[in-house]
A and B are shown apart, each in its own frame.
Chain A
Amino acid sequence: MSVQPAMPKCWRMESKPHKFCPGCGHGLVLKALGQAIDELGIQDKVVFGCDIGCSLLSWDFFNVDTVQTHHGRTTPVITGIKRANPGVLGIAYMGDGGGYAIGAQHLVSAATRNERITVILVNNTQYGMTGGQMAPTTLPGQKTETTPYGRDIQATGYPTQGPEMVAAITPEGAYVARGTVANVKQLKGFIKKALENQMAGNGFSFVEALSTCPTNWRTNAEETWKFVEQEMTKYFKVGEIKVPGPREKEGQ
């Protein structure tokens, strides 16, 4: 009997242990995704695209067909694949910088077109891969390499409410949720529903995952979990934001 927690079946053993820093949330999000893929039995249908950012480290993470794209461009690559071959299940995996800054126009447009793809976005409140600069999601007052005195909301605005934006602009059929690596079971459930939404051909599906970056946050384990559970949730509400069904008419 193994004492190790079981790895999802679709994980690629040859590329484990994975390359994320200790305590990084990316591994947990990919665990939730791996479990969702296993439970849905879709390993042979999934095409996984990873962005440039720490997500790029997942280019050989799964035993699923995978393409590593450019910073911010995973959404159009997966869109292009899905449009050309609707038989696959397209997953675009990216960071908050990739999705909400450089690739924001792609996210907005894929959402408004209700592309039948699933976007999973890891919100770690800054640019992990490039060494911890401010991202659209950086919390007010949060210190990063480019906000060394803390994010000044007068000068740089408030944290981007990604799922709320996606929920507002998607037509009916879309699925939008925000999970957290502090609750992997719930996160897996959201990702599973997002994939099921794509499988049903309902519309766009989007899951943001609140995640950790102890390396750039410069936090120990306790501070890391405190930040993700207590600080981030002040600005980012965890839960399902939009589930398929007709949009409620105004005034009703």
Chain B
Amino acid sequence: MPEKPIQGEKRVFMTGNEVVAWAALAAGAEIMYGYPITPQNEIMHYWTRLMPKYDRKFLQTEDELSAGFTTVGGVLAGRRAFTATAGPGNTLMQEPMSMAEAMRLPVVVVVQQRGGPSTATVIYSQQEVTMTTLGGNGEGLRVVYSTATHQELFDYTIKAFNTAWKYRFPTFVLGDGYQAKMRESLTFYDPAERGIEMVPTEPYVGKPGMPGVDRPPTHLRNTYNVEEELYEVLKDYLADYAKAAPEIAEYEAFDTEDAELVVVSHGVVSRAGKAAVKELREAGYKVGYFRPITLRPLPVDQLREVANKAGQLLVVESANGQLDRLVKEAAYGCSAEILPMFKPGVGITAEEVVARVKEIKG
């Protein structure tokens, strides 16, 4: 048996893409399928360099439709399988992910967001929130973790496999080009040594025994004859999702108790949000910080609590209101006024957030 990729704890300094490859190895991912697109390429580059030593596999497909559907196949075969993409690739990825939703397949997708619409920039954005949370024809029966640091890229890539296999919803790790390409320190660990047990996988097809004799055959479909038949299936799925949502939802918050204004942000932008809130507090402003870690499902109850306590929410994002829409839906009927700070496709600094809050607060 090949040795464990990570033994003991280790401080490392590397790019986010390299972190994702190592995290997938540490999580016991067995096969990656992928198609080149910036800024996720190096996930494949590191994976393919590392995999022979650890007996893992890779297939470079003809496009992201195929990357998504082969990953679906890998999961059907009972393997911890994943893919990574960005931008226009994420657009194509939505078709296979709708099949994964329809069949409750635990596919893991890492998305490193780039600018949009179209080819736009290969650099950075937070413009894939709507598509990653709600893409495809369907109901968004999926989990989306939005990471902010390299440590989180490592932690949540590992966690994504467990969430996917435990709840059987396709699961996304939503990063961005800055996180992908930037170097940062973090601690590597072997999940088992941290007491993280990897949820066991099982095949859907190619199971032992003679189908129809020793066991029923697997017959998976995504087509239904009548509306009611589909509705019955969806009712169950939606009930499962609603039950799982509070268990899955994660957030980070501080200084919200007495805050007049709470900065709401996610992903790498929340680093600016966090720094700005700390600075503003020191300057005597009654501000707080709230960051959903899961964009789907959102930590709805916690967000509503904040939105009923604070007078104002300032939604800060590198998109034109994609997080904002999710926040407004979750906080519908809450008392807080919701204010925008949108810079689509562009990074946001703590200074800019500080300035915006001072502008609001006078």
Contacts and interface: CB of A to CB of B under 8 A. Distances in A.
Given A43-B211, A66-B217, A80-B73, A85 B78 contact: yes
Contacts of A70: 69, 95-96, 99, 222
B221 interface: yes
B224 to A, nearest CB: 11
B220 A76 contact: no
Interface stretch (B1-9, B38-46, B55-63, B140-148): B55-63
B23 to A, nearest CB: 20
Nearest to B208: A44
A29 interface: no
Given A77-B76, A79-B73, A67 B205 contact: yes
Interface in B195-222: 203-213, 217-222
Contacts of A85: 77-79, 203, 206
B57 A83 contact: yes
Interface string A59-77: 1101111111110010011
B162 interface: no
B69 A84 contact: no
A68 B222 contact: yes
Interface size class of A (residues with CB under 8 A): 35 or more
Contacts of A73: 65-66, 69, 95-96, 99
Given A63-B211, A80-B76, A68 B61 contact: no
B217 A80 contact: no
A87 to B, nearest CB: 7
Interface string A193-216: 000000000000000000000000
Given A73-B96, A88-B205, A80 B71 contact: yes
B74 A84 contact: yes
Contact of B209 (A44, A76, A83): A44
B84 interface: no
B222 A83 contact: no
A230 interface: no
A174 interface: no
Given A62-B217, A81-B205, A105-B62, A56 B70 contact: no
Report, nearest first, the 8 A-B pairs whose CB atoms are least far apart: A80-B73, A63-B212, A80-B70, A109-B62, A76-B69, A65-B205, A84-B77, A85-B77
Interface of B: 30-31, 33, 57, 59, 61-63, 65-66, 69-74, 76-79, 81, 95-96, 99, 103, 203-213, 217-223
Interface of A: 10, 12, 43-45, 47, 52, 56, 59-60, 62-70, 73, 76-85, 87-88, 105-106, 108-109
Given A70-B69, A85-B203, 11 more contacts: A10-B212, A12-B217, A65-B217, A70-B95, A70-B99, A77-B73, A78-B73, A81-B74, A85-B77, A85-B78, A106-B62
